[in-house]
């Protein structure tokens, strides 16, 4: 199923989140958007609807991999259709001077990506975690309406644009080039065939045994074919304590299939999570 054929998109809501912004970059005119309360819920919903896709963040250039999304891709047997890169900019809403703030609302990702600003300006304030960056803004406005407690919220810069009376700071992310990779995914179809003419391929690699030099052997296969890895990350194997799997992203070449053939005969179990291009 191509993106143009999609009739339903699931992504983190409510409207106005960064996930929603990424969704709008790939949404076709006939697709409707359903907002979920968590990333994992969006990935679960897409397994129940074969004509749908989900748009979810998988990695941030500052905070790293979003583990719950990475693991859910495998658990729900999903395939990656495309990648979206989105510049992430935050603003701070507050109803008092920053040194007076008692608590602030923030999504866990926003908290990680703005930790320097928070430590410098609101170190004594207590954080209250939210479901999304827009939810942070909604809860802030509700708190302001219900009392006079000094409160703040980390929200998307776009969300703060029409709330000038509360906006205390813009661009509070720790790094100017703060960027998040979003993936467009759907349920895996029978006899799924990757298209290695696309820019990237993502793999899940599992080891059949634990031995010295295992990671070196894995990397040697890619080096043999001069294939450039753009991400390599270990994650717990879930079913076996202290065992690990690897997630590998690499740039496709004319030798991709040959490389994977050598991996297969080298006692590495792998699963292709998708071959895809930059979209949106």
Same domain, 117 and 18: no
19 within some domain: yes
242: three-class secondary structure by DSSP:
coil
Same domain, 263 and 127: no
278 within some domain: no
pLDDT attached to residue 4: 67
72 secondary structure, DSSP code: H
Same domain, 141 and 251: no
143 within some domain: yes
Same domain, 153 and 254: no
CATH code of 120's domain? 3.40.190.10
67 within some domain: yes
Same domain, 73 and 183: yes
If we measure between CA atoms, which residue out of 40, 30, 1 comes closest to residue 187? Answer: 1
Q: Domain range spanning residue 60?
A: 1-87+178-187
257: three-class secondary structure by DSSP:
helix
CATH code of 218's domain? 3.30.70.260
pLDDT means per 10 residues, the chain with 280 residues, are: 76 96 90 95 94 96 94 93 97 96 97 97 96 97 92 97 95 97 94 94 86 88 97 88 90 97 90 94
Same domain, 215 and 147: no
How far CA 12 is from CA of 126, 194, 195, 204, in Å, comes to 25, 27, 28, 25
Same domain, 182 and 66: yes
Same domain, 211 and 165: no
133 within some domain: yes
Determine contact, residues 170/163, Cβ cutoff 8 Å: no
Q: How far apart are CA 213 and CA 106, in angstroms?
A: 42
Residue 203 token pair:
């793999």
Domain end among 187, 212, 230? 187
Residue 95 token pair:
């109803």
194 within some domain: no
If we measure between CA atoms, which residue out of 97, 92, 86, 61 comes closest to residue 156? Answer: 92
192 within some domain: no
Same domain, 83 and 94: no
Write the pLDDT tens digit of every residue in 182-202: 999 999 988 889 999 999 999
Q: How far apart are CA 192 and CA 144, in angstroms?
A: 51
User: Based on the structure, what is the number of domains in the chain?
Assistant: 3
Domain end among 132, 161, 187? 187
**Please, which residues have CB within 8 angstroms of residue 199's CB and are 6 or more apart in sequence?**
251, 252, 276, 277, 278
Same domain, 183 and 217: no
Count how many residues are written for the chain.
280
Same domain, 15 and 149: no
Same domain, 23 and 75: yes
């Amino acid at each position: 199923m191509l993106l143009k054929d999609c009739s339903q998109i699931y992504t983190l809501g409510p409207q106005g989140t960064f996930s929603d912004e990424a969704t709008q970059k790939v949404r076709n005119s006939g697709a409707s958007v359903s907002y979920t309360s968590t990333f994992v819920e969006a990935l679960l919903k897409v397994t129940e609807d074969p004509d749908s896709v989900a748009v979810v963040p998988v990695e941030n250039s500052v905070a790293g991999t979003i583990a719950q999304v990475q693991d859910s891709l495998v658990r729900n047997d999903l395939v990656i259709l495309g990648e979206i890169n989105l510049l992430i900019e935050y603003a701070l809403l507050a109803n008092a001077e920053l040194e007076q703030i008692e608590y602030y609302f923030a999504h866990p990702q926003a908290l990680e990506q703005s930790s320097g600003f928070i430590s410098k300006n609101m170190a004594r304030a207590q954080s209250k975690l939210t479901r999304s960056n827009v939810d942070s803004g909604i809860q802030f406005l509700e708190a302001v309406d219900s009392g006079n407690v000094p409160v703040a919220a980390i929200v998307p810069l776009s969300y703060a644009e029409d709330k000038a009376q509360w906006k205390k700071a813009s661009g509070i992310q720790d790094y100017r080039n703060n960027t998040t990779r979003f993936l467009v995914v759907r349920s895996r179809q029978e006899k799924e065939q990757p298209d290695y003419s696309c820019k990237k391929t993502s793999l899940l690699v599992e080891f059949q045994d634990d031995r010295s030099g295992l990671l070196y052997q894995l990397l040697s296969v890619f080096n043999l074919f001069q294939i450039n890895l753009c991400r390599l990350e270990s994650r717990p194997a879930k079913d076996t304590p202290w065992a690990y799997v690897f997630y590998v992203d690499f740039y496709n070449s004319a030798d991709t299939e040959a490389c994977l053939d050598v991996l297969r005969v080298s006692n590495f179990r792998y699963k292709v999570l998708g071959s895809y291009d930059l979209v949106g």
